[in-house]
């Protein structure tokens, strides 16, 4: 594999800056540092959308902030939950604002971004519980929110991809909201880090390393028993049949690459319609770099097309 030239330029700039990995910070400081770095990828004014609404719903363990992004083309043809990445420890509504705007306009749906509770202050299953509760609420209030009832997808990147897969499982197991689609963008799915790509990318320099994932998982999980929980690792579910169609997007230079692709294969074997695409020259996090990387633009367009088609 060869790094995409535009991707390499970003990595070279990061190396020249000499910033330490976020795992070298305490969680609170890591959040501020991650937000600062994500600001680098904002170019010009944010993409205009139809409108944005911030609201707070009552969750099972406290209030859950949600941000709604409406597309320019009205009315929305459906809705898509979005769970941000950041290893369940960092990230928020602001760090992933640009990708939510792009997704709303590109897919024609209302994007509902969830500001779920973060670890280590709130360990598993806090984030999963918040994301499922938010999905239930969005499904139940379709008429009030202005999108067609029953046209709902889940999506997320990295840890958010994990949460999207988990919410899809929860919805099936609990006979909850009917989901039309799951978009899993380089999802984090294996706390044991056994996939070969974790050994391949066990050093810094490619945005995410195996050491970063050890740090994230250690903050998120309560104990070793959580490793076997299918709401931590969906691949541990006894049965994956009956889940919504999926698009799994992976990056070639990413320790999470192989576990995402392995999960796509498990879904396929269970009879779930799956499309799995590897963007070979890119690293983890590329979805937030669409304003800088042409291949990332293609991935965003693919994701938007998949969601749009699922709402037909």
Listed residue (211, 95, 83) closest to 159, CA to CA = 83
- Show me where the domains of the chain are located: 5-310
Q: Is 183 helix (H, G, I), strand (E, B) or coil?
A: strand
Dihedral sign from CA coordinates of 149, 82, 286, 194:
negative
- Does the annotation mark 96 as catalytic? no
Angstrom distance (rounded) from CA 155 to CA 84: 9
d(CA 274, CA 264) in angstroms, rounded, equals: 6
Given 158, 190, 197, 198, the catalytic residue: 158
Q: What angle do CA 34, 166, 123 make, to 5 degrees?
A: 55
- Ordered per-residue pLDDT tens for the chain, 312 residues: 899 999 999 999 999 999 899 999 999 999 999 999 998 877 678 999 999 999 999 998 999 999 999 999 789 999 999 999 999 999 999 999 999 999 999 999 999 999 999 999 999 999 999 999 999 999 999 999 999 999 999 999 999 999 999 999 999 999 999 999 999 999 999 999 999 999 999 999 999 999 999 999 999 999 999 999 999 999 999 999 999 999 999 999 999 999 999 999 999 999 999 999 999 999 999 999 999 999 999 999 999 999 999 999
* CATH fold label, 5-310: Rossmann fold (3.40.50)
* Dist CA 211 CA 38 (whole Å): 20
Secondary structure class of 66 (helix, strand, coil): strand
CB atoms within 10 A of CB 293: 24
pTM of the model as a whole: 0.97
For residue 158, indicate whether it is catalytic.
yes
- Axis crossing angle, helix 159-173 with helix 126-140, rounded to the nearest 10: 60
Beta strands in 201-286 (DSSP E): 246-253, 274-283
For position 73, what pLDDT does the model report? Answer: 77
Residue 284 designated active-site:
yes
Reduced to 3 states (helix: H, G, I; strand: E, B; else coil), residue 76 is coil
């Amino acid at each position: 594999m060869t790094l995409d030239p535009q991707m390499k330029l970003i990595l070279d700039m990061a190396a020249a800056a000499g910033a330490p990995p976020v795992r070298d910070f305490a969680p609170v400081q890591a959040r501020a540092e991650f937000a600062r770095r994500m600001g680098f990828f904002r170019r010009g004014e944010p993409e205009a959308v139809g409108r944005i609404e911030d609201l707070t719903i009552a969750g099972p363990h406290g209030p859950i902030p949600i941000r709604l992004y409406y597309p320019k083309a009205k009315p929305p043809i459906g809705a898509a939950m979005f769970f941000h990445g950041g290893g369940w420890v960092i990230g928020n509504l602001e760090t992933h604002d640009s990708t939510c705007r792009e997704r709303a306009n590109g897919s024609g749906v209302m994007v509902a971004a969830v500001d779920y509770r973060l670890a280590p202050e709130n360990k598993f299953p806090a984030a999963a519980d918040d994301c499922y509760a938010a999905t239930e609420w969005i499904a139940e209030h379709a008429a009030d929110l202005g999108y067609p009832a029953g046209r709902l997808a889940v999506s997320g990147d990295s840890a958010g991809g994990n949460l999207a897969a988990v919410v899809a499982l929860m919805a099936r197991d609990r006979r909850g909201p009917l989901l039309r689609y799951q978009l899993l963008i380089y999802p984090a799915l294996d706390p044991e880090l056994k996939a070969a790509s974790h050994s391949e990318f066990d050093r810094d320099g490619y945005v995410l390393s195996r050491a970063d994932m050890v740090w994230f998982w250690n903050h998120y999980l309560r104990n070793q028993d959580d490793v076997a929980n299918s709401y931590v690792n969906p691949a541990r579910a006894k049965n994956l049949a009956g889940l919504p169609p999926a698009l799994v997007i992976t990056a070639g230079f990413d320790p999470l690459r192989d576990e995402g692709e392995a999960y796509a294969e498990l879904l396929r074997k269970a009879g779930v319609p799956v499309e799995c695409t590897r963007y070979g020259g890119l690293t983890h996090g590329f979805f937030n770099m669409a304003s800088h990387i042409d291949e990332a633009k293609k991935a965003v367009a693919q994701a938007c097309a998949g969601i749009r088609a699922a709402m037909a």
